[in-house]
Structure 1
């Protein structure tokens, strides 16, 4: 499989909400970094447990907006929701041996645009 196919399969598995199945796309010694909070998730089991226990109001949906690949690195832009919470994740996936070895994931917070530029832009919810 190509790196893009591996990452697509990972997000498809995440969409089933079976996070143990999604973790099968991760290397056994997987490392997941969340730079904004300084957290590191190590290993498939911890990844699956974190996502299984994450507070949710319903079934999670994962809408892949874009995938961009450069060799073994794939960047994904994914809209994520449980019906109440809405978020966006930009993830750098490092692949090898048919698996995801490492992820660096950013969770940007939406914000209202400043009034001074309203006449120059359009707004669109994500």
Structure 2
């Protein structure tokens, strides 16, 4: 049952994030949650700080596309694409839960790139 509850909370979180509902988006987090951005070396401590940071983002996201959500128990991973100012970023969110709330999240952001022609015979193109 806990897995179903967390999955439903994740669905609400990503839907709220996609439409810019900052209050609903941050309901998933524990008051003392920590969010790490390893690529920039930043750590955001506390739900209030995380919500404030995201609410003041000068280039608010214009779109989300969830590719998949996988997890069970206290560890969940979401793979998605997020659009900022006409650019897409491939994103991975790793959330750790305790008592039904996200207590730690790590987010990775990557720019898409063209596949090199030299390996075309061994790969399939993804949509």
Q: TM-score, normalised by structure 2?
A: 0.83
d(CA) in 2 for partners of 1:3, 1:124? 29
Q: Does 1:21 align with 2:24?
A: yes
Deviation at 1:118, TM superposition (A): 2.6
Is 1:115–2:107 an aligned residue pair? no
Partner SS, residue 120 of structure 2: helix
SS of the equivalent of 1:107 reads strand
What is aligned with 1:31?
Answer: 34
Kindly report structure 1 stretches of 4+ aligned residues shifted beyond 4 Å: none
Q: Which residues of structure 2 form unaligned runs of 5+?
A: none
User: Which of 87, 96, 103 is 2:89 aligned to?
Assistant: 87
Structure 1 unaligned segments of length 5 or more: list them: none
How many residues are matched?
Answer: 124
Q: In the TM superposition, what is the alpha-carbon distance from 1:121 to its structure 2 partner?
A: 2.8
Q: Deviations over 1:57-92 (max 9, x none)?
A: x65322211011132111001111146121121111
Task: For residue 51 of structure 2, give the secondary structure of its aligned residue in structure 1.
Answer: helix
Cα displacement (A) at 1:33: 0.7
Q: Is structure 2 residue 68 aligned with structure 1 residue 49?
A: no
The partner residue of 2:13 within 10, 15, 32 is 10
TM-score between the two structures when normalised by the length of structure 1: 0.84
Other structure's SS at 1:54 match: coil
Per chain length, whose mean CA-contact separation is higher, i.e. which structure has more relative contact order (CA < 8 Å, sep 6+)?
Answer: 1
